[in-house]
């Protein structure tokens, strides 16, 4: 039976009184909404106080609570449910109810009750705030400006923050990683001024050689933590003055370039300015070792110096460094020298085939400096030489930026037959072990899958078991998918792995790339997999926090801690050189039904996910460098309309799975 609303009254601009009738006893009323950005989030819920007298009830909704929990950057549709049983009852109306839109002077939201399909819905809509740069300047010490704000805001009731947000790559203009917040103070006369010392800009932004920082202004009520973000647009009068460069000295050694984007917004290029500070003056090959001589090209003081070789690991169209080796430098009167034994050069399980290593000069209290190779130093006579017990060959050379580098190639090795394999991952990996014609009908001639656990995050796996969750209460979880959740809840993977005694272990990191992790308490987390997301279980779980991919940088820092624990426990069971990482990656295109090649919508988001996947892969391999990598990113596999499990960026054409199995056979039987 419906519980009906009869009247709504706004009291002192602080609360709404909801008057209604109910023929049954009410045990609770909750306001709730689901955020569906990137994934369906669990309901955000607020308990609503109420009083009931026979069949009449009155509920009190706090304007401050609605403002506190509403989404600041998009409309929030609050609904109201009675009791906690599922299916629950929404508060409804059987006829029109008069109410007016409401907005207080100290709020950034406009509120309106609406009744779609008769269901009581409170619309919380953020104001359309815009900010405009009216004055701008840069000098050797700071970047400054004056900003106007629309619409009109009451003085001293709002504050402004300047957020600098770094894009993962320049083309991913909808996504950000590192950010830095500068408090700008109270908004007065709808204006705000700022002056940011260049030296205060965080060194954490200097990830790549060139980094795009977007300027975002956040307007926040003084009594709230959450504000409305807006890109900082440029007035036509100021636009010609924006493009400026300023050097930022030690210890950052960078250049900050302000510019106007194609969308007429203020952004910055934050570039490393380290080229030519350290120069190679001589390199000689004695047969047993290399001898280096270096010269500093500036008045920067070097101390406790080392030569560092850093391995390039692919990160979308860029690269990052996770593996390095160092050698000490001796300081002379006007130069620095170092010797590197060929026997020790890049020793240990750190090499990959067809890989570039870049050399840097490292010194105390300074960023690492690339070693420039001038024209008078000729490296062309240098040949490939054996390293890592003759498993690889290396050649020292000059890269395209005229800096000292080294290139390594793999030396062929002998093989042995291996067939028993354990799998942790998703259909990027385990679909190769499917006997349907689309996949590999003959895979059992080569492999026995000792265990398969799917769609579990590494973070979840390293926490304690989840208790008191009865999956049989959820008929919306089909039987075939129930083990995905059950295994994730039990946390028995390592016991099962050890008992299965596999010869090889295959893993892909898809669950950590795109799926959130829900912390039920401070000891237990579960993977918010697509199976959980599609079940009522999502809304019934009580949880403390969710770590998701809205902020990939925060997720990465949380994930690395548990990845370290995972790898430590894994290598107690599986030898590191028997671990196989499927580097994975989503496709941006697919074969349509008529075999035409089409692109998926949301290409930028797909590429951003691939970028983050590269980062997780790189970290994983930096911690277990003996592992083998299957990397098909340079091969032209795309999606397919005819995929048995449906078309998606994670489902490939048939050739992918057949070639993947061939690669596994090669790895395990060599």
Asked whether residue 50 falls in the same domain as residue 154, the answer is no
CATH number, residue 450: 3.40.50
Asked whether residue 82 falls in the same domain as residue 116, the answer is yes
Is residue 187 scored above 80 in pLDDT?
yes
- What pLDDT does 300 receive? 76
Asked whether residue 92 falls in the same domain as residue 121, the answer is yes
Domain end marker among 272, 307, 325: 272
List alpha helices for 199-298, DSSP H: 239-242
**118 CB-contact burial (10 Å; exposed 0-12 / middle 13-18 / buried 19+):** middle
Q: Taking Cα atoms as reference points, which of 417, 426, 370, 424 lies closest to residue 398? A: 370
Burial 383-392 (b: 16+ CB within 10 A, else e): eeeebbeeeb
How far is the C-alpha of 402 from the C-alpha of 254, rounded, in Å?
19
Q: What is the DSSP annotation of 95-132?
A: S------B--TT-SEEEEEE-GGGB-EEEEEE---EEE
Q: Taking Cα atoms as reference points, which of 406, 538, 430, 432 lies closest to residue 476? A: 538
- Provide mean pLDDT across the span 623-648: 93
Tell me the average pLDDT of the chain: 92
Structure tokens at 609: 């996910």
- CB–CB of 516/549 below 8 Å? yes
- What pLDDT does 414 receive? 45
Structure tokens at 403: 């800096």
DSSP letter for 278, please: E
Asked whether residue 295 falls in the same domain as residue 439, the answer is no
**411 CB-contact burial (10 Å; exposed 0-12 / middle 13-18 / buried 19+):** middle
Asked whether residue 255 falls in the same domain as residue 285, the answer is no
Cβ neighbors of 541 (< 8 A, separation 6 or more) are: 42, 469, 518, 520, 526
Asked whether residue 107 falls in the same domain as residue 229, the answer is no
Domain end marker among 382, 410, 438: 410
How far is the C-alpha of 532 from the C-alpha of 469, rounded, in Å?
12
Q: Is the dihedral of CA 609, 610, 615, 618 positive or negative?
A: positive
**Residue length of the chain:** 670
- What pLDDT does 351 receive? 87
How far is the C-alpha of 226 from the C-alpha of 65, rounded, in Å?
12
Specify if 415 maps to a domain.
Answer: no
- Provide mean pLDDT across the span 117-138: 93
- CB–CB of 247/255 below 8 Å? yes
Residue 123's pLDDT band, with cuts at 50, 70 and 90, is very high
Residue predicted with more confidence, 478 or 628: 628
**Predicted confidence (pLDDT) per residue in 518-545, tens digit:** 999 999 999 999 999 999 999 999 999 9
Burial 452-490 (b: 16+ CB within 10 A, else e): bbbbbbbbbbbbeebeebeeeebeebeeebebbbebbbe
How far is the C-alpha of 108 from the C-alpha of 219, rounded, in Å?
9
Asked whether residue 40 falls in the same domain as residue 177, the answer is no
- CB–CB of 527/517 below 8 Å? yes
Domain end marker among 352, 384, 410: 410
Q: Taking Cα atoms as reference points, which of 219, 208, 339 lies closest to residue 283? A: 339
3-state secondary structure of 314: strand
- What pLDDT does 2 receive? 73
**135 CB-contact burial (10 Å; exposed 0-12 / middle 13-18 / buried 19+):** middle
Asked whether residue 341 falls in the same domain as residue 317, the answer is yes
DSSP letter for 1, please: -
Backbone angle region of 354, left / alpha / beta, with phi > 0 → left and psi within -120 to 50 → alpha: left
Asked whether residue 636 falls in the same domain as residue 655, the answer is yes
Cβ neighbors of 437 (< 8 A, separation 6 or more) are: none
Bridge partners (DSSP) listed for residue 296: 278
Q: What is the DSSP annotation of 473-494?
A: G-TTS-GGGHHHHHHHHHT-HH
Specify if 54 maps to a domain.
Answer: yes
Asked whether residue 206 falls in the same domain as residue 254, the answer is yes
How far is the C-alpha of 485 from the C-alpha of 506, rounded, in Å?
20
How far is the C-alpha of 359 from the C-alpha of 340, rounded, in Å?
12
Specify if 361 maps to a domain.
Answer: yes
How far is the C-alpha of 235 from the C-alpha of 133, rounded, in Å?
6
3-state secondary structure of 432: helix
Element containing residue 20 per DSSP (H, E): strand 15-21
Q: What percent of the chain has pLDDT over 90?
A: 77
- CB–CB of 447/433 below 8 Å? yes
Q: Taking Cα atoms as reference points, which of 621, 560, 628 lies closest to residue 320? A: 621
- CB–CB of 94/119 below 8 Å? no
- CB–CB of 155/188 below 8 Å? yes
Q: Is the dihedral of CA 265, 270, 276, 279 positive or negative?
A: negative
Specify if 624 maps to a domain.
Answer: yes
Residue identified by tokens 């004695």 is: 286
Structure tokens at 601: 């919508």
Is residue 380 scored above 90 in pLDDT?
no
Residue 415's pLDDT band, with cuts at 50, 70 and 90, is very low
Residue identified by tokens 């489902």 is: 651
How far is the C-alpha of 528 from the C-alpha of 513, rounded, in Å?
12
- CB–CB of 168/611 below 8 Å? yes
Asked whether residue 406 falls in the same domain as residue 446, the answer is no
How far is the C-alpha of 233 from the C-alpha of 262, rounded, in Å?
11
**Predicted confidence (pLDDT) per residue in 268-284, tens digit:** 999 999 999 999 999 99
Count of CB atoms situated within 10 Å of the CB of 423: 24
Specify if 378 maps to a domain.
Answer: yes
How far is the C-alpha of 494 from the C-alpha of 496, rounded, in Å?
5
- What pLDDT does 316 receive? 87
| Structural domain of 140 | 130-272
- What pLDDT does 302 receive? 82
Bridge partners (DSSP) listed for residue 331: 336
- What pLDDT does 61 receive? 96
How far is the C-alpha of 482 from the C-alpha of 501, rounded, in Å?
25
- What pLDDT does 480 receive? 85
Specify if 79 maps to a domain.
Answer: yes
Q: How many domains does the chain have?
A: 4
- Provide mean pLDDT across the span 393-416: 81
Torsion of CA 99, 103, 104, 105, to 10 degrees: -150
Is residue 152 scored above 50 in pLDDT?
yes
How far is the C-alpha of 528 from the C-alpha of 351, rounded, in Å?
35
Asked whether residue 455 falls in the same domain as residue 582, the answer is yes
List alpha helices for 597-638, DSSP H: 603-623
CATH number, residue 351: 2.60.40
Bridge partners (DSSP) listed for residue 164: 180, 215
3-state secondary structure of 83: coil
- What pLDDT does 1 receive? 61
Specify if 88 maps to a domain.
Answer: yes
Bridge partners (DSSP) listed for residue 58: 19, 51
**Predicted confidence (pLDDT) per residue in 420-457, tens digit:** 999 999 999 999 999 888 999 888 888 999 999 999 99
Specify if 139 maps to a domain.
Answer: yes
**Predicted confidence (pLDDT) per residue in 538-589, tens digit:** 999 999 999 999 999 999 999 999 999 999 999 999 999 999 999 999 999 9
- CB–CB of 322/563 below 8 Å? no
Residue 412's pLDDT band, with cuts at 50, 70 and 90, is low
Residue identified by tokens 């700071």 is: 142
Angle between helices 603-623 and 552-573 (to 10 degrees): 40
């Amino acid at each position: 039976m419906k519980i009906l609303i009869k009247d709504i009254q706004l009291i002192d601009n602080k609360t709404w009184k909801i008057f209604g009738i109910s023929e049954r006893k009410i045990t609770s009323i909750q306001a709730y909404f689901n955020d569906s950005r990137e994934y369906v989030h669990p309901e955000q819920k607020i308990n609503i106080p109420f009083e009931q007298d026979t069949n009449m009830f009155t509920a009190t909704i706090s304007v401050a609570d609605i403002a506190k929990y509403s989404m600041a950057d998009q409309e929030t549709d609050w609904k109201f449910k009675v009791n906690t049983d599922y299916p629950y009852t929404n508060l409804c109306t059987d006829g029109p109810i008069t109410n007016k839109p409401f907005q207080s002077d100290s709020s950034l939201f406009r509120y309106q009750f609406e009744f779609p399909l008769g269901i009581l819905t409170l619309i919380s809509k953020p104001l359309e705030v815009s900010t405009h740069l009216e004055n701008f300047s840069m000098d050797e010490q700071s970047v400054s400006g004056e900003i106007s704000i629309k619409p009109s805001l009451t003085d001293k009731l709002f504050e402004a923050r300047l957020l600098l947000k770094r894009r993962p790559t320049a083309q991913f203009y909808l996504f950000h990683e590192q950010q830095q917040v500068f408090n700008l103070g109270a908004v007065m006369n709808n204006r705000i001024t700022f002056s940011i010392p260049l030296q205060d800009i965080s060194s954490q932004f200097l990830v790549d050689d060139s980094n795009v920082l977007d300027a975002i202004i956040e307007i926040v009520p003084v009594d709230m933590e959450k504000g409305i973000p807006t890109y900082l647009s440029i007035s036509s009068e100021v636009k010609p003055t924006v493009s400026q460069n300023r050097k930022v000295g030690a210890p950052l050694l960078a250049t900050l370039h302000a510019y106007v984007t194609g969308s007429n917004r203020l952004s910055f290029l934050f570039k490393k300015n380290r080229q030519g500070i350290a120069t190679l003056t001589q390199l000689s090959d004695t047969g047993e070792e290399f001898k280096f001589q270096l010269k500093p090209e500036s008045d920067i003081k070097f101390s406790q110096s080392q030569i560092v070789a850093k391995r390039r690991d692919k990160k979308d169209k860029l690269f990052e460094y996770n593996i390095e080796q160092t050698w000490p430098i001796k300081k002379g009167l006007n130069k620095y020298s170092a010797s590197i034994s060929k026997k020790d050069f890049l020793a240990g399980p750190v090499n990959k085939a067809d890989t570039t290593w870049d050399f840097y000069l490292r010194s105390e209290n300074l960023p690492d400096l690339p070693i420039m190779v001038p024209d008078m130093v000729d490296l062309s006579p240098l040949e490939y030489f054996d390293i890592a017990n003759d498993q690889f060959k290396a050649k020292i050379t000059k890269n395209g930026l005229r800096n000292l580098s080294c290139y390594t190639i793999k030396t062929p090795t002998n093989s042995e037959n291996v067939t028993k394999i354990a799998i942790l991952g998703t259909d990027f990996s385990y679909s190769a072990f499917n006997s349907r014609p689309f996949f590999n009908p003959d895979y059992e001639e080569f492999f026995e899958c000792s265990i398969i656990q799917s769609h579990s995050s590494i973070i979840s796996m390293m926490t304690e078991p989840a208790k008191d969750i009865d999956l049989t209460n959820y008929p919306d979880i089909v039987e075939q998918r129930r083990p995905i959740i059950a295994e994730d809840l039990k946390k028995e993977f390592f016991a099962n792995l050890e008992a299965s005694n596999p010869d090889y272990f295959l893993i892909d990191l898809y669950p950590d790339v795109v799926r959130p992790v829900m912390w039920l308490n401070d000891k237990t987390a579960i993977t918010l997999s697509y199976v959980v997301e599609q079940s009522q279980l999502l809304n019934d779980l009580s949880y403390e926090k969710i770590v998701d991919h809205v902020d990939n940088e925060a997720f990465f820092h949380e994930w690395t801690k548990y990845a370290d624990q995972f790898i430590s426990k894994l290598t107690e069971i599986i030898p590191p050189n028997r671990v196989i990482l499927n580097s994975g990656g989503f496709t941006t295109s697919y074969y349509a039904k008529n075999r035409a090649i089409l692109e998926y919508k949301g290409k930028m988001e797909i590429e951003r996910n691939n970028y983050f996947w590269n980062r997780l892969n790189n970290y994983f391999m930096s911690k277990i460098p003996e592992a083998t990598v299957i990397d098909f990113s340079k091969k032209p596999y795309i999606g397919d309309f005819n995929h048995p499990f449906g078309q998606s960026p994670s489902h490939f054409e048939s050739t992918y799975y057949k070639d993947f199995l061939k690669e596994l056979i090669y790895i395990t039987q060599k």
